[in-house]
Structure 1
Amino acid sequence: MQGTSDARQTMESQDELHGGVVRQRGNVMGKNIQEQNNGSNETTPEPNKELSPTSSKGSSVVLILLLLMVGITWGIAATAYFGVVDYKVLVGIKETEKVVTERGEPPVMSQDNQPSKEGETTNENMKTADKDERDNTLKQTEGKVKVKDTAQDPTKSKNSTPKKTKKPTTKTTDGTVPKKKKNPPDPLTSEKDIPILKQLREAEKLLKSKQAAKAKAAYQKLVSSNPESPMARFGKAESLFQQAEQERSNKLLQECIQAYNEVAELATCPPALKKKALLTKAERQTFLGHLRAALLTKTQLARDFPNDEKVLNQLGVAYLMIGQNDKAKQVFETVLDIHPGDGFALVHLGFIIKIKGDWMKSIEYLLPGVTSLEEGTQEGKFYFHLGDALYRTNRTKEADEIYKLGAERGLFRSKFQRSLYNVERLQSRPFWTPQQAKVVDYVKKLEKNWKTIRDEALKMMDVKKGLFVNEDENLRNTGEWRQFTLYQRGKKDAACSRVPKTCSILEQMPNAVGCTRGQVKYSIMMPGTHIWPHTGPTNCRLRMHLGLVIPTTGDGVRLRCADDIRTWEEGKVLIFDDSFEHEVWQQADTFRLILIVDVWHPDITKREKRTLTPI
């Protein structure tokens, strides 16, 4: 009885110790414990008698609890000392690894893996499950998380957070910390602009988003409240120009020009903004075709900025545009005196000298100017004239290289096709058939009436009458070449009254007499004439030659277009694209007479025929 009582007392002590781990018992065992505590006189079983099933079950529970306590205690001690036993795995508890995101917050994790129903999950299985879950978590966060495993690194606390690393301070050689550099002041901004910088930026956003009317209203409001703000007035001018473009309004363009002028006249206007405003004003005046007004604006600029190469260069261009090449030459020479090697001045001065016919000297300016690659030097006309000057001074290989370089840089369609006023989509080839050019009817009319056309021309060949005038494009190397113009830029010349039958035939060819980028003229070339290789100005036309008097004596007459050489026949039409380089030799014993008729390129649209600038 004493043994049974001791066992029961031990069980109760364990109950109290473990907080009710074994409180869930059968009714019988609970009744026996209650009677024991109340001092019941009921006889207990004899020692040699077997315990009831309930008593046996209670003993088993006690034994299991004791074993668990021993195991847990040993596990804790061994883990702390050796780090070899995972006591949590031993009792079936899995520790969830702490996953720290970039924001420093643990993400929501899935539920812990549980042991199997049979309780057969081993330590190795648990570790494998942990690794799989960690891998899945990393995949879900696409490599943007950091894993912190406190079970494997006992030196780190679970609640510790990563420390921010301090960036090393850059020091100068003397050990002092350099001061932060301040942004340089904006040379376009005045003190009067500073209080309204935020509003100016907001208005500028409207301008950049092409909301011209809203931008103009915003700038006008700023001008009204801040009349001395140069940037507000400049913004108003810019918005007026944008609106003028959108509405195609010359009236708004005039207002825009006046607004730029108001900017420059402000006493508070910074010099940089004044220069920008007046240069832009001159550009808008040029756009309107007011070339002399633009010249006056640039003259004012040159007075205010006498040593500014950009201002002086623009003044030189203004003189060129109104045909005052000598004054332009003086300006560009002044620029080179102040700023030797200025590429823009070099190419323009070389261009002027080349036009005058001094090929050798022009190369001295054009070549270094083109190779400087400075802004304003990479234009087709400079490569065109440099190559031409090189060719005429017998530096043909260098000329060919310049033409190739111009084509590679997109300034020419090819080394042979060097016209400067082009419509890019047009098909091109040196020689054309009437079918390709879509002028079959024109060719038939010309070839049918070629004798009538020839006879009228021969009557006009009297030099004393002065109807045939010398070619004036400086294309002639040797000999004599004269022309008699009937139509030019789509307009009929008064000379047509002298050859009425010819002009009557031509009037039936609207794509010829209406070609604003072409001419119709007689051309006479005397023996011993050589025409330099040259190209026409545009690819928008094709050129027809009707043979009227074609000598066959001597070495005859020849036309080279690109790398193809042909000759003329009397009464036949030859069609070629004069935007390709072409060259003529007249080595016969008598004159050569042809009728030149330019026609629109077959790919030019009706709208383009109406709107393309005449040449």
Structure 2
Amino acid sequence: MYGRARSLDRLGELERSNSRLEQAIVTYRGVLDLADEDSNLVPLPLVRMAAENCIDRMIFRGFFGKAVRVQQRLLQRFPDDVKLRNKMGVTFLLMNQGSAAKEVFEAVLQQWPDDGFAQVHYGFILKNTYKNNSGGALYMLKGIESGAEGTDDGRFYFHLGDALQREGKVEEAYKIYDRAVAKGLFLGRYQRSLYNVDRLSSRPFWTPEQTTYQMFFRKLEENWEAIRDEGAALLTAPPQDGFRPEAENLRDVGDWKQYDLFTRGRKITANCVKAPRTCSLIENFPPAAVCKRGQVKFSVMHPGTHVHAHTGPTNCRLRAHLGLVVPDGLRLRVGNEFTTWQEGKIFIFDDSWEHEVWHEGDSPRLILIVDVWHPELTEHERKTLVPI
């Protein structure tokens, strides 16, 4: 039965067939069922191999809940195996169940307090699920310093540095970033995106001509008043139909909301109905409309807002800002360079570089944000890169 499962598994890979993989999953589970019926029938090493292959394929297919149940069955036979417990914690993270993952890693650390893999994941959860920057930084640093397998990952350096910055420990954060650069985990101290194509040109700010999209950007500027009127009208919409609070925990203080028009290369039709002129301009320009690693959205920021220093997820896009309603008292830092917005004018920057925003004016700022594919990406890359 195990041999049949492995054969189906391999056929699934060769044929790129989800159906074959699901047949393999059922057959792997059949081995576990036999072991449950008669513990002497199936040797423990075979039980483990069948279970781990089954879990791996379930996760590949997105069957996370089923994977957890198999992991729990496996732990009944190997209760003192820390690696199995850690893997179950990771599965809960893949399910976006931070509280369940936290319980798993807490239990691991009670029994194995120096396990670096559990430390770094526990710290990651404290920071991102529970907004505990100091506790998250403490455990992520312990985990990274342990050198344990699975801890040398750009995500942990990214979030450790971010937690330190938010705690005001800026110099410590940049030391962490520099270590990650030396390991090849980041493109640079200020360019810390995690989903990259390494050969792409990089600079904080781009001219329209450098992007090769100058005709498109000129058209947006020519229509800026119509775009402004559509964005301003949406500001008066009821909460369920209007701007939504920024959802990535990037805001330090203040009020910052967004209204999505395109996301991950797809038009949000219900929203575009309320901004038809803006969406028609975007829809006719594929590098923006089908940018799977970007968004198009209105952004409103109220006085007294500060946005934490942060970086975007990928170097595969450039981000354009079109000023629509721009009071005094605004600043944007990208790397070590500063700029501000002007009504009817566009500037373009690479948001994989660290950037930070201050609104010290006395009235709201409204802009249109348009992400476009990096101009040096090939057509094949634009079609095959996974969405973000």
- The interval holding the TM-score normalised by the smaller chain is over 0.9
Cα distance between partner residues in 2 of 1:313 and 1:482 = 37
Deviations 1:239-274 (A, max 9, x none): 543443233222332343344334444544432342
Letter in 2 for 1:414: G
Letter in 2 for 1:382: F
**% same residue:** 49
Give the C-alpha shift of residue 397 in structure 1: 0.8
Are residues 1:250 and 2:25 paired? Answer: no
Are residues 1:413 and 2:181 paired? Answer: no
SS of alignment partner, residue 451 of structure 1: helix
SS of alignment partner, residue 547 of structure 1: strand
Deviations 1:124-177 (A, max 9, x none): xxxxxxxxxxxxxxxxxxxxxxxxxxxxxxxxxxxxxxxxxxxxxxxxxxxxxx
- Max Rg structure: 1
Q: Which has the higher strand share?
A: 2
Letter in 2 for 1:374: A
Deviations 1:166-201 (A, max 9, x none): xxxxxxxxxxxxxxxxxxxxxxxxxxxxxxxxxxxx
Give the C-alpha shift of residue 463 in structure 1: 6.3
Show the counterpart of 2:342.
Answer: 569
SS of alignment partner, residue 498 of structure 1: coil
Cα distance between partner residues in 2 of 1:496 and 1:306 = 54
Cα distance between partner residues in 1 of 2:184 and 2:46 = 34
Give the C-alpha shift of residue 383 in structure 1: 0.8
Give the C-alpha shift of residue 465 in structure 1: 4.4
CA gap of 1:337–1:437, structure 2 versus 1, over 3 A, is same
Aligned pairs for 1:27-426 within 5 A: 233=2, 237-264=5-32, 265=34, 267-355=40-128, 356-426=130-200
Check whether the contact 1:515–1:598 (CA below 8 A) recurs between aligned residues.
yes
Are residues 1:491 and 2:266 paired? Answer: yes
Cα distance between partner residues in 1 of 2:235 and 2:87 = 46
Cα distance between partner residues in 2 of 1:481 and 1:261 = 49
Show the counterpart of 1:592.
Answer: 365
Cα distance between partner residues in 2 of 1:240 and 1:427 = 44
Give the C-alpha shift of residue 458 in structure 1: 1.1
514-523 vs 425-434, greater mean Cα deviation: 425-434
Show the counterpart of 2:216.
Answer: 442
Give the C-alpha shift of residue 471 in structure 1: 0.8
Letter in 1 for 2:342: E
Letter in 1 for 2:15: E
Give the C-alpha shift of residue 613 in structure 1: 1.8
SS of alignment partner, residue 328 of structure 1: helix
Cα distance between partner residues in 1 of 2:13 and 2:335 = 41
Give the C-alpha shift of residue 423 in structure 1: 2.1
Are residues 1:480 and 2:261 paired? Answer: no
Cα distance between partner residues in 1 of 2:210 and 2:74 = 53
Letter in 1 for 2:138: E
Give the C-alpha shift of residue 590 in structure 1: 1.8
SS of alignment partner, residue 578 of structure 1: coil
SS of alignment partner, residue 298 of structure 2: strand
Give the C-alpha shift of residue 303 in structure 1: 2.5
Show the counterpart of 1:147.
Answer: none
Show the counterpart of 1:206.
Answer: none
SS of alignment partner, residue 416 of structure 1: coil
CA gap of 1:291–1:607, structure 2 versus 1, over 3 A, is farther
Cα distance between partner residues in 2 of 1:375 and 1:345 = 11
Give the C-alpha shift of residue 351 in structure 1: 0.8
Please provide the CA RMSD for this pair. Answer: 1.8
Show the counterpart of 1:560.
Answer: 333
Cα distance between partner residues in 2 of 1:263 and 1:407 = 45
CA gap of 1:465–1:278, structure 2 versus 1, over 3 A, is closer
Are residues 1:533 and 2:309 paired? Answer: yes
Check whether the contact 1:370–1:378 (CA below 8 A) recurs between aligned residues.
yes
Letter in 1 for 2:95: I
> Which of these residues, 285, 300, 315, is aligned with residue 524 of structure 1?
300
Check whether the contact 1:302–1:315 (CA below 8 A) recurs between aligned residues.
no
> Which of these residues, 435, 442, 462, is aligned with residue 236 of structure 2?
462
Q: TM-score, normalised by structure 2?
A: 0.93
Deviations 1:186-226 (A, max 9, x none): xxxxxxxxxxxxxxxxxxxxxxxxxxxxxxxxxxxxxxxxx
CA gap of 1:410–1:259, structure 2 versus 1, over 3 A, is farther
Cα distance between partner residues in 2 of 1:390 and 1:276 = 41
Give the C-alpha shift of residue 523 in structure 1: 0.6
Cα distance between partner residues in 1 of 2:120 and 2:26 = 33
Deviations 1:251-304 (A, max 9, x none): 332343344334444544432342233122211121122222222222222222
Show the counterpart of 1:164.
Answer: none
Give the C-alpha shift of residue 389 in structure 1: 0.8
> Structure 1: any 5+ residue segments left out of the alignment?
1-226, 228-232
CA gap of 1:340–1:470, structure 2 versus 1, over 3 A, is same
CA gap of 1:463–1:398, structure 2 versus 1, over 3 A, is farther
Check whether the contact 1:447–1:571 (CA below 8 A) recurs between aligned residues.
yes
Show the counterpart of 1:542.
Answer: 318
Q: TM-score, normalised by structure 1?
A: 0.59
Aligned residues: 380
Show the counterpart of 2:380.
Answer: 607
> Which of these residues, 222, 227, 243, is aligned with residue 453 of structure 1?
227
Cα distance between partner residues in 1 of 2:95 and 2:61 = 14
